[in-house]
């Protein structure tokens, strides 16, 4: 099963485009978890167990694990082992470097941790991300239009009359010979999201920016999905995982996750199911 097949399978099985961002800041987990040896993993474990039937993916922003030192490496391993195999896992590290360095980065993300997908930065060109593109069961999510405020500093610069991000999208399509390339397109940029989907109707999109960053969920669904209302992975992190800082945090996380999942599906029904 290649990546796109796996993605469609879990989205249909769980009737969900929702991805939960496990961007777990140790300083923000409920205080009672500090009684456990690894409060970061214990937090992740409980979130996963409470939501695994209503998501299509989990995304781990690696900075939150690297920043806690060597133990964070083991926490990533433990967290991935807890996630059911059929669910997509995304290592959000935005990697990409000269080939010798990229090889070592990919060894960790693709072979050791064995994420289903990894976010990669195309700025240095194809050889900087080629090691992430070798397996057709794993996806290289190329940064196209990001959700942060500084995105326009470079991504919107005009080159031959078109913004740089359009050149990135068109090049990414050329690299997609194994059907394992995706794009990162932020929900905070609905016009660009619509444009990128028109340029790349067949590529899976990882869509951050919903929730705390206040990206528009309706536009994320309407413009991020393909013609069948699929292959968009809509990430929500802090709004779900920090819905409560008390002992009821898992119940509250599930409650908020269900609201997002159900709202996404209402928009899918509105824009795609009637076709």
Active site residues: 94
Distance CA 270, CA 185 (A): 22
Distance CA 8, CA 57 (A): 11
Distance CA 261, CA 43 (A): 21
Distance CA 19, CA 232 (A): 10
Distance CA 188, CA 46 (A): 29
Q: Which residue has the tokens 């072979």?
A: 111
Distance CA 99, CA 105 (A): 10
210 close to 2: Cβ distance less than 8 angstroms: no
Distance CA 102, CA 96 (A): 6
253 close to 241: Cβ distance less than 8 angstroms: yes
Classify burial at 5, counting beta carbons within 10 Å of its beta carbon; exposed 0-12, middle 13-18, buried 19 or more.
exposed
CA triplet 178, 180, 184: central angle to 5 degrees?
145
Classify burial at 18, counting beta carbons within 10 Å of its beta carbon; exposed 0-12, middle 13-18, buried 19 or more.
buried
């Amino acid at each position: 099963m290649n990546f796109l097949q796996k993605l469609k399978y879990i989205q249909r099985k769980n009737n969900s485009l929702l991805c939960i961002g496990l961007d777990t800041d140790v300083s923000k987990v409920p205080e009672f978890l500090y009684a456990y040896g690894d409060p970061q993993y214990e937090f992740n474990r409980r979130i996963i167990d409470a939501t695994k039937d209503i998501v299509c993916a989990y995304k781990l922003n690696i900075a939150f694990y690297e920043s806690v030192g060597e133990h964070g490496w083991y926490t990533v391993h433990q967290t991935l082992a807890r996630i059911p195999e059929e669910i997509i896992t995304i290592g959000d590290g935005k990697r990409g470097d000269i080939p010798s360095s990229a090889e070592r980065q990919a060894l960790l993300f693709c072979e050791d941790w064995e994420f289903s997908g990894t976010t990669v930065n195309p700025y240095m060109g194809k050889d900087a991300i080629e090691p992430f593109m070798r397996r057709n069961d794993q996806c290289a999510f190329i940064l196209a239009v990001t959700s942060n405020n500084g995105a326009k500093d470079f991504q919107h610069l005009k080159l031959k009359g078109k913004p740089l991000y359009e050149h990135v999208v068109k090049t990414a399509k050329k690299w997609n010979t194994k059907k394992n390339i995706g794009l990162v397109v932020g929900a905070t940029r609905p016009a660009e999201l619509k444009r990128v989907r028109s340029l790349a109707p067949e590529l899976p999109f990882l869509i951050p920016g919903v929730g705390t960053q206040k990206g528009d969920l309706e536009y994320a669904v309407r413009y991020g999905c393909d013609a069948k209302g699929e292959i968009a992975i809509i990430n929500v992190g802090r709004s779900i995982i920090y819905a409560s800082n008390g002992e009821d945090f898992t119940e509250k996380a599930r409650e908020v996750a269900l609201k997002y999942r159900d709202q996404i599906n209402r928009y899918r029904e509105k824009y795609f199911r009637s076709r």
